[in-house]
Amino acid sequence: EAGVAQSPRYKIIEKRQSVAFWCNPISGHATLYWYQQILGQGPKLLIQFQNNGVVDDSQLPKDRFSAERLKGVDSTLKIQPAKLEDSAVYLCASSARNGNTEAFFGQGTRLTVV
């Protein structure tokens, strides 16, 4: 079974530029998550999808971050414009259902904003 795929693995951009990350979840997984992990902290949920609908985006900075999950499969997370404090690892995860189950993570995208 293929795992969660993310790209790119690494990205360096200047502040005020835009960037996009892509995620392909495990086949058949209805729930998809984007987490932000700043060095030394635990993953923080940015947005959670159930199929192609948003379950929770309460911690997504909507003035600069956006995410979509077209057709309930792949997802993209965009930052525009980026700030220095957006430097972090962006993790995508998926699970078969929403709640009380294991979530499986991709390798993450390490973003550095300079």
Partner 1 sequence: DQQVKQNSPSLSVQEGRISILNCDYTNSMFDYFLWYKKYPAEGPTFLISISSIKDKNEDGRFTVFLNKSAKHLSLHIVPSQPGDSAVYFCAAWGNTGKLIFGQGTTLQVKP
The footprint of partner 1 on residues 6-35 (CB under 8 A) is 6, 33, 35
- Interatomic CA distance for residues 114 and 95, integer angstroms: 33
Work out how close the CB of 106 gets to partner 1 at its nearest, in angstroms, rounded to a whole number: 5
- Rounded to 5 degrees, what are φ and ψ at 85? -75, -5
Inter-residue contact 4 to 68 (CB < 8 Å): no
98 touching partner 1, by CB under 8 A: yes
- Interatomic CA distance for residues 84 and 65, integer angstroms: 14
Q: Which stretch binds partner 1 (CB under 8 A): 12-20, 65-73, 75-83, 105-113?
A: 105-113
| DSSP H or E segment with residue 13 | strand 10-13
Residue 51 or 80 having the CB closest to partner 1: 51
Retrieve residue 32's tokens: 């998809």
Residue 70 or 99 having the CB closest to partner 1: 99
The footprint of partner 1 on residues 45-74 (CB under 8 A) is 45, 48, 55-56
